[in-house]
Structures are given as structure tokens and as C-alpha cells.
Chains A and B, each alone.
Chain A
């Protein structure tokens, strides 16, 4: 049982390049989330999904797109990377909407945009 995994772990991009971050979970969770963490700050929600084929915007969605074609995978795309997107990206998943269900986090992806 791997939990939540993220690939890649590190990436350096040039401004204007594109990339996709992959998140996978093997816990059969319905809900999946993408957060970003900037230095000295807590996590902020980018996009989330409440089930296969559905996605929705979070607090800071601009510049990102997501897709959830399979229940176990949640992809985060940057179409044209900007230096402001330099951050650590965390994926998380949880069971359906019960209040006490904790979110399980992946190990994070450290992205630098030059």
C-alpha cells in the first residue's frame, strides 16, 4: 500500500515551458486535491476533485489545469510556467465528505521556474 505518490519529486522549468505533475493514490479515495506551499506559508488549494471525471477550482487556480480521468490519478498541468509558480506542490486524497476524514498527503514536488 503506497498511499499517495507524486512524480516527479523535483523539476526545474524555464518560463513559458509546460509540464504535468502526476498524483496517484491506491486507497480508493473519492476526493483528491492539489495544494501549493510557498516559503513560510501554509498550503493553499489549487484545484480539487470529488470523483472520477469531475474537477473544480480552489483558492488559487489561475495558471493551472487538472484532469481526473481515472479515480486513482489526479494530474496537475502548467501550460506556460511563470516564476510565480515556483513552489512545493502537494497532492492529497481523502474518503468522501465525512468531516473527520483526514487528508493523506503525498511527499510533494519541488518546482522551480527560472
Chain B
């Protein structure tokens, strides 16, 4: 079974500093995708960044980058130059594609990390 673990329930970071949110995953499937979503206090789920298991380079999207270490099965999110608006819950999720997964490409989510940015 697939599993996502986020070991940091809550974190503080000083505004303008970088922060790393940890994510480890467990799967025996060779093909998978890793996603990070942001959930602000308003509740919506906002897609941030994606990394495929066969991607050679780490994904980047603006201030977000994904530190993908396949051998360690980790996919940490790095946020550079934190802003007050980055305060939110952050979820790591994994998708196993059909036909390995008979659940229509469902996402398996970790428990989340609450990030609080201090001014």
C-alpha cells in the first residue's frame, strides 16, 4: 500500500528566509507522481508543484522547488524567501497511475505541515 509521511506537524519560519517541509513516501510501484498542495485558512486546496518518478531534474515553480531524492524516497518542498502569505497547511500527496492503481489515479495524502511565517 502507498503511504505518505509528513513528520513536521508545525513549523515557524522568519519572513524572507527559506524553509524545507519534509515528505517521505512508500510505494513499490516504479511509476508515480508526487504533488504538493497548499491549504490556506480559507480552506481551498491550491496545487503548487509536481515531480514525476522518472524526472531527472528537481521540479521548480517560482519560489517553490522540490528536493527529490528517489533512493531515500523523499520529496521535500523548499520555499525560498518566505512571505506572510505562505502561512498555511501544506500537504504532500502521491499518485499511482492506472493500471498499477485501480482507484482511478487517486491521490494519497500525508497528514500535512502547518507553516507559520513570522514577520
A interface vs B, CB < 8 Å?
A: 31, 33, 40-45, 48-50, 56, 58-59, 88, 90, 92, 94, 97-105, 107-108, 110
Contacts and interface: CB of A to CB of B under 8 A. Distances in A.
Nearest to A95: B105
B46 to A, nearest CB: 8
A105 B33 contact: no
A107 B44 contact: yes
Contacts of B104: 31, 33, 48-50, 56, 97
Interface stretch (B13-21, B76-84, B109-117): B109-117
Contact of B111 (A40, A50, A101): A40
B8 interface: no
13 contacts: A41-B112, A43-B107, A43-B109, A45-B103, A48-B104, A49-B104, A56-B103, A56-B104, A58-B106, A97-B97, A97-B104, A99-B97, A100-B33
A101 B97 CA distance: 10
Given A42-B93, A48-B103, A90 B50 contact: no
B103 A58 contact: yes
A27 to B, nearest CB: 13
B100 to A, nearest CB: 10
Nearest to B4: A42
Contact of A90 (B32, B35, B45, B112): B45
Given A40-B111, A41-B112, A42-B93, A102 B47 contact: yes
B43 A97 contact: no
Contacts of A103: 47, 107
